[in-house]
Structure 1
Amino acid sequence: EQIHWFSIVNSFMIVLFLTGMLAMIMLRTLHRDLRRYNDAETKEEAAEESGWKLVHGDVFRPPKRAALLCVYVGTGIQVLGMTVVTMIFAVFGFLSPSN
């Protein structure tokens, strides 16, 4: 029943630190992208350099290695499903550490 406050506070501080680092990276990237888009001299340049306009036709193109993509997606779904099932068993007490 003893609560390990140091471990809880330490974990919370690590989460806050990593969240802050991620926010800084995302803000820096966003500012750089906005500056690049605002510095476009003509509308034609902006249309050519805009990221989503370059790949808008590629969305409906089938991938080069469709079978490999299916393997990765299937493996990911299986791992996610087994993690969820394990967590459910742990919540209901089937995976008690005292056993």
Structure 2
Amino acid sequence: MEGAKMHWFSILISLMVIAFLAGIVLLILLRTVRRDLTRYEVLDKEELSGWKLVVGDVIRAPGNATLLCVMVGDGVQILGMAVVTILFAALGFMSPECRGT
């Protein structure tokens, strides 16, 4: 059963690397947004520039709303099935020792 222990250890290491890289990306993003917000607060409130011009585009409905809904729905379904499959594999329901169950 030592192979199973090494398997769980490698999964744990992979998850730690993913969490570390996501943390680095989040830190860079937060620093950039915070710097931009402080720069825009210094500007005149009546002068619209930068991200303030995007406000009208964010609230507007997308051009192909039906296609967007279909793509988001398909993506959520594929992600959900991948999570369920990985969960079943982690719990041992998809073990090669008990095929066909």
Paired residue type of 1:55: V
- Alpha-carbon deviations, 1:29-73, whole Å to 9, x = none? 134213322330x2202xx237467425752x3311123212211
Figure out how many residues of one structure are paired with residues of the other and give that number.
95
Kindly report the root-mean-square deviation, in angstroms, between the aligned alpha carbons of the 2 structures. 3.5
Q: Which runs of 5+ in 2 are unaligned?
A: none
Shift of 1:80: 2.4
| Structure 1 gap ranges (5+) | none
Distance change (3 Å), C-alpha of 1:14 and 1:88:
closer
Specify which structure has the bigger relative contact order, considering alpha-carbon pairs within 8 angstroms and separated by 6 or more residues: 1
Give the equivalent residue in structure 1 for 2:25. 22
Supply the AA of the counterpart residue of 2:96: P
**Identity score, percent:** 47
> What TM-score, normalized by structure 1, do the two folds share?
0.60
Are 2:39 and 1:36 aligned?
yes
SS at structure 2 position matched to 1:64: coil
Distance 1:8 1:76, change over 3 A: closer
AA paired with 1:29? T
Alignment of 1:5-84 (within 5 A): 7=10, 10-11=13-14, 14-15=17-18, 17-40=20-43, 42-45=44-47, 48-49=48-49, 51=51, 54-56=54-56, 58-59=58-59, 61-84=60-83
CA separation of 1:83/1:19 partners in 2, compared to 1, >3 Å: closer, same or farther? Answer: closer
